[in-house]
Every structure is written in structure tokens, then in C-alpha cells.
Amino acid sequence: MSDRVYVFDTTLRDGEQSPGVRLSMPEKLEIGRTLVDMGVDIIEAGFPISSPGDFEAVSTLARELKGVQICGLTRAREKDIDVAGDALKGAENPRIHTGLGVSDNHLQHKLKMTREQALEVGVAAVRHAKKYTDNIEYFMEDSGRADRDYVYTVVEAVINAGATTINVPDTTGYTYPEEYRALIAGIKENVPNSDKAILSCHCHNDLGMATANTLAGVLGGARQVEVTVNGIGERAGNTALEEVVMAFVIRSDYFRVETRIDSQQLLAVSKMVSRLTGMMVQRNKAVVGANAYAHSSGIHQDGVLKDRSTYEIIAPELVGAEKSEIILTARSGRHGLKHRLAEMGFNFTEERFEELYARFLEVADTKSEVGDDDLRVLVSA
């Protein structure tokens, strides 16, 4: 089994489905270029039949971006696939991403098909997509809630028809990590031709488990992860690219896999996507949140100032952040205050420092953060 994990970024497709997000063509191109530069392997640029804007996005990125696979989403319908094939014409390595639901819920309520009918439609879609490319990804929507034996049957049939990547979406964010790992591992164990395709994790975050499920899927044998920058996407979003990449970096002892992503670009890309989509990144967001490398309590500050590893598992430089921050608050201790004053060029006798510390605590009790301007006022009084 290869230890390389392919990063499939769907910020421009599933991510753009976030309520309230609409990216212009130049913005999509800017994001696309940045993703290529950062080392993403596959960019899902849109759903070409869904709108002229999506068609244009897929065809422009297909023409403009090199060194990356460009993917267009389709339903399992000939017309969708023809339109995607057309949009992908200029791509160096075009991928068609087609498929349909596999859970009984989707079959009954949405598709109004029997399992057998849906299987036939799916196989026909893959065969049709082969007119345009050999790089075909098949998605089994709502795999997380589907009957396992039916999933195995679908995987075997669509691989025989020509699919080279099998996407196993937990569309509704329903599974928990052990289950999702078993789903992937089960496909590998029970589908005789599963070694002919790469299995892909596509997890939604409805229960806050998208990243955990994706990582579990990789442990189960998946070698592609479908992610978005900042985890944006339908409802509660998708798996966050930056979280998965950094889990592989920081816990390489455990996962033993690699991506091509240059982690030092993660923070800049997160900021860019946040700016262009208008989707704010929560301060405490893992890896790229404003507080991710900030320490506020005295106990933590004392530890970090003695040795960063006491409270920081990610060195900020690894994601392109400048440095850890010591935030002075009412919970900060002497060590934090002394450190900041020294950084500002102030050094005091112990006696004078004790006076300042007492006054600092009074000020800190009146506000959430004591900034450099406050400190200047304190020392000049």
C-alpha cells in the first residue's frame, strides 16, 4: 500500500456550496492557482452542468492550471457527463467525478430507484465518462448510511466499468471514526478488484467528526482525502484541508503517510479563502485560527516561555504563522509580563517590576487583553 495520500480539494465545488458564498471567476482562478502552488493534487473546480458560471470555472481552470488534475462533478446522466467532458477539454489531466446515491434513504426518497436500477445507471455513467477520460472518480452518495453489501457490489461493478477512484462520502456526517474506518477497510477486504482503484474519503462535519472520520478512513486504507480550505461546505462543512495535512505532519509516527502539500502556505491560503468567500475563520479553529498559537493563562505562558513544546504541538512557522503569541490578560503571570516588557525593551529591578505587576493586574481586570499601548502607559506612570 502506497504511503502517499492524494489531496483532492473541493473548495471551489462543495466549499462554494456553503450558503452565502459566491466566488467570481477571477477569484476562483486566484484560489486555483494558490492551491496548485501549495501542492494540491486534484482540484474539483465545479459542477459544469449546474450553471454557466460553473462551466466557465471548470473550463478556465482546466485551460489555465498545469501540474494538477482538474475535476468536474456530474450526476450519473449522459448530458451532465457530456457537458463536463466539454468543460474539461483543455485540461492536462481531466477527471470526471460521477455517481449517485447508495443508501436506501436516497434510493427511496430522492432517486426513486431500486438498488439494481441505480447500479445499472451508475455503471452506464462510468462507461459513458470513458469517452472523455480514463481518469474517472465514482461517488457513492450517502455511503455512511448505506448497506455495506450493496456498497461492495457497487464498488466492484463501477471499477469493472472503468472507475479509477472510488469516493465513499459520508454525505450527512453521520458516521463516527471507527465506523468510517471499517467502511473503508471493508471495501478493501471484501471487493475483489478494490486494488484497481484508489479509495477516497469525503466527510461532512454535521457531528463535528469530518476530520476524525477522514483520518480514520486513511487508517482503513483510503489514499485520497477530499477537503476544503477552512472546512467550508454544505451545512456544517467538509473536512478541513489544513487539519488533515497537519495531522499527517505532526502525527507522522502514527499515520505514516505523506501529502505533497507545502504546510507553510496553510495560513496564507486560509486567510485568502476567508477573505474571498466572506466566511470568517473562528478564532479557536484548529491549525489556522487566530488563537491557535496564542497563550493567555499564566500557567501556560510560563511553560511555553520555558519550552514551547510544553503547550504547543505545532510550531507556528510550520503553517506559515510568524510566532507564538503571549496574550496578556488577568490570567497572565509574572513570567508573561516580564517577557513582553523585555521584548519591548524594558527591564526593571525586581521591586519596580512587582509594583508594575500589581498595577498590570488592576488594568487587566478591566479589559479582555492588555496591549502594548496599555503597557507603555503603565511603565511611564
Query: Among candidates 368, 270, 248, 263, which has minimal Cα distance to 318?
Result: 263
C-beta of 171 vs 270, nearer to Zn ion: 171
Residue type, 272: M
- Could you say which of 9, 41, 141, 302 contacts ligand KIV (CB under 6 A)? 141
Residue 16 engages ligand KIV in binding (rule: CB under 6 A): no
C-beta of 14 vs 16, nearer to ligand KIV: 14
The SS3 of residue 259 is coil
**Site track 198-227 with ligand KIV (rule: CB under 6 A), x = hit:** ----x-x-----------------------
| CB-based closest residue to Zn ion | 14
Question: What per-residue string of b and e applies to 349-367 under the rule 16 or more CB within 10 Å gives b?
Answer: eeeebeebbeebeeebeee
Residue 137 engages ligand KIV in binding (rule: CB under 6 A): no
Nearest distance in Å: CB 205, ligand KIV: 11
Phi, psi of 132 (to 5 degrees): -105, -30
Nearest distance in Å: CB 46, ligand KIV: 12
Whether 324 contacts 316, CB under 8 Å: yes
C-beta of 140 vs 330, nearer to Zn ion: 140
Nearest distance in Å: CB 335, ligand KIV: 48
Nearest distance in Å: CB 42, ligand KIV: 13
- CA dist 192 and 148 (Å) reads 15
Residue 14 engages ligand KIV in binding (rule: CB under 6 A): yes
Query: Among candidates 182, 197, 185, 286, which has minimal Cα distance to 237?
Result: 286
**Site track 7-26 with Zn ion (rule: CB under 5 A), x = hit:** -------x------------
Query: Among candidates 97, 59, 69, 93, which has minimal Cα distance to 81?
Result: 97
Nearest distance in Å: CB 233, ligand KIV: 8
Classify strands 224-227 and 294-295 as parallel, antiparallel or unpaired.
unpaired
Q: Which residues bind ligand KIV (CB under 6 A)?
A: 14, 139, 141, 167, 169, 171, 202, 204
